[in-house]
Structure 1
Amino acid sequence: MKQSRADGFLEFATGRTGHLFRSAVLLTSGDVHLAEDLVQETLRRMYVVWGGRRRIDNPAAYAQTVLIREFLTHRRRRSSSEHPLAELPDTPQRQAVSPEVRISLLQALGELAPKDRAVVVLRYWEDRSVEETAAAMSVSTAAVRTRSTRALAKLRAALGADLADLVAP
C-alpha cells in the first residue's frame, strides 16, 4: 500500500510541478528561488495528506490552494523581508557590543521574573506589538504594559553604567 501511495504521489508531483512552479514564479514576481521553495513546501504538504483518510477530489486545485496559502504565509513571516547581498559588507552594520556587556545583559534578564522576561523578549527582541504579546501570553494588554515598564526599570537598575554601552552612538 505504501508503495502505491508513493507511486501515485510521484506521478502527480511529476505532472504538476511545472504548473505549480510557473504559478509560484508569477506570485513571487520572478523570484525563482522563492518559487522553488514554495513549490517544494507545497509538495511536502500535499504528500502529508496524500492517500490519507480524507480523499482529495481535485488534487490539482488543492495543490494550487496550498501554493497560494504558502505564498501568503511566507509574506507574513519576518524572514520574507530578508534579501541576500551579492557581497558581504566590509564593516559591520552595527557597533559590536562587548562580551562583558552581553553577559551583564543576560544576567540582568535572568534576574527578571519569568513573565517579565517573556514580555521583554516578545516586545523588544521579537518586536511584537502589545496586543500580540498579550495574546501570546494569554494576559491583558494592560498587564503587558505594566510588566514592560516594571521589567525595563529593573533592567536599567541592574545594568547601570553598562546601559550606555548598549546604546549605539
Structure 2
Amino acid sequence: MAYCTACGAENKQSAKFCGKCGAPVDGTVPAAPHQTSAKGMSGSGSGPEVELWEGKPAGISDRLKGLIGLNTTTYTITSQRIMVKTGLIGKDLEEVELLRVNDFSVAQSIPDRLLGIGTLTVFSDDPSSPQLLFRKIRKVQSVKDVLRGAVRNEKIANNISYREQI
C-alpha cells in the first residue's frame, strides 16, 4: 500500500494522487496517521487521539446520494472513540468512548455480499447509544478488525480487563 505523505491515508500502490486529500502520492514514506484536535479528547492516558478509519454508507442508494452531495452520514473510528455524524442542514453527532464498547457484530445479506458491503453493529454500555450502527459500509470485516484492535488497545492503556463469571 502507498500512504499519502500529507494526510497519512492509504491509497492503491498505483495511485498518483491521494483519494482523501488530493496530494501527490509517491508511495515511499508512510506518513503518521492524522491526529484529531485536542478538543473533545478524553482524559485517558493513551496519548493523542488518532483517526484510524473514516467512511460513509456505500449502498446503491447511498452511492447515488454521494454523486449529488447528499450522502451526509460519516462514520469515524479514532483511537479513543467512535463517532457517527448525520444530517444535511442540522448535524447530529453520536459518540461512544471505546472504553464503553462491549461487543460488535457484522451482518451481510446476499446482495450486500455481492456489493462488498455490510452493517457493523457496536454494542456498548453507553446509555444514550447502547447500539451504534455503521450501515452499509465497505470492507465491513476489516473495519470491525480495526475497531476491535482499537478497543483492545484503549482498554489495555487504561488497565481495564474483563472476567467472565460462571
Q: Do Structure 1 and Structure 2 share a fold, with TM-score over 0.5?
A: no
Normalising to structure 2: TM-score of the pair?
0.24
CA radius of gyration, larger in: 1
**Which structure's residues are more often helix, by fraction?**
1
Q: Going by fraction, where is strand more abundant, 1 or 2? A: 2
